Amino acid sequence: MNITIRHASPADVTVATELLYYAGENLLCSIFGNGDKARARDFLVSAWLKEGGQYGSDNHWVACKSNQPIGIVTCWHDELPEDFDHKTLACITEYFGVTESLNVIARSQQFAESLQSPDKNQLGVGHVAVHPEYRRAGVATALLQEMEKQAIKRAKHTLILDVETHNEAAIAFYIRQGFKEKSVEPPFLHMYKTL
C-alpha cells in the first residue's frame, strides 16, 4: 500500500478526530465526556479545529492513502511553542466553561501523574491510531518512522511512549518496533526506544 505522511490540517477533522478518539477511547471518554462518548468526541472536534494545543491539528501528523487520513500520531518535546499548554487549556475552557473545566482538569490530573514527560533528549510519541480497515498494513510503522525522523531532526536520542497495560496488541507491536519496557505506573506501561 502506498502511504504518505503529512502534517495534519483542520480539514482532516472528521477522520482525524475519530482516529484520535480510537487512540485513547477509555481515557478521553472519562476525561472529556465524564462517561459520555458523544461529548468527548464533540470536544475533540472543537479542539482540533482550534489547531493549537495537545488536541489541535497543528501538532499531529496523518498517514494517508490517496490523501485520505487513515492513521494519526503526535509528539511532545521540549521545543513545543511557549503557548502550547495555554492553547490546550483555552480549548478546554472555551468548550466546557470555567466551572466544568475545573472538573475536566481534575479528571485529567488523575492520569497525567502516571504519564512520562520527555526530557531534553527525548521525544514523546502519542495518539497513535490506525483506521480498523487499514490495520496490519504498515501504517503504524510508517507513523513511528516519521516520529523517528522528527526526533533526529530535533537532536533527540530516545523515543518514549505510554501504552495502557491491558493493550497487549499495542505492546507487542511496539516491542516489534524496537521499544523496550521501562516501568509500569498504572494504568500505563512506559516504553522507550534508543535511536
**Per-residue confidence in pLDDT tens, the chain, 195 aa:** 899 999 999 999 999 999 999 999 999 999 999 999 999 999 999 999 999 999 999 999 999 999 899 999 999 999 898 899 999 999 999 999 999 999 999 999 988 889 989 999 999 999 999 999 999 999 999 999 999 999 999 999 999 999 999 999 999 999 999 999 999 999 999 999 999
Are 117 and 88 in contact by the 8 Å Cβ rule? The answer is no
Cell of 172: 507487542
Pairing of strands 158-164, 122-130: parallel
Rounded alpha-carbon distances, angstroms, from residue 149 to 20, 59, 155, 171 = 21, 15, 10, 22
Residue 96 corresponds to which amino acid?
F
Q: What is the pLDDT of residue 158?
A: 98
Closest CA to 190 of 164, 157, 158: 164
The domain spans of the chain are: 4-194
Are 151 and 159 in contact by the 8 Å Cβ rule? The answer is yes
Spatial distance between the Cα atoms of 143 and 139, rounded to a whole number of angstroms = 6
Q: Domain 4-194's class?
A: alpha beta
User: Which of the 8 DSSP states describes residue 180?
Assistant: E
Q: What is the pLDDT of residue 13?
A: 98
Spatial distance between the Cα atoms of 4 and 61, rounded to a whole number of angstroms = 10
Phi, psi of 180 (to 5 degrees): -120, 150
Residue 31 corresponds to which amino acid?
I
Cell of 63: 498517514
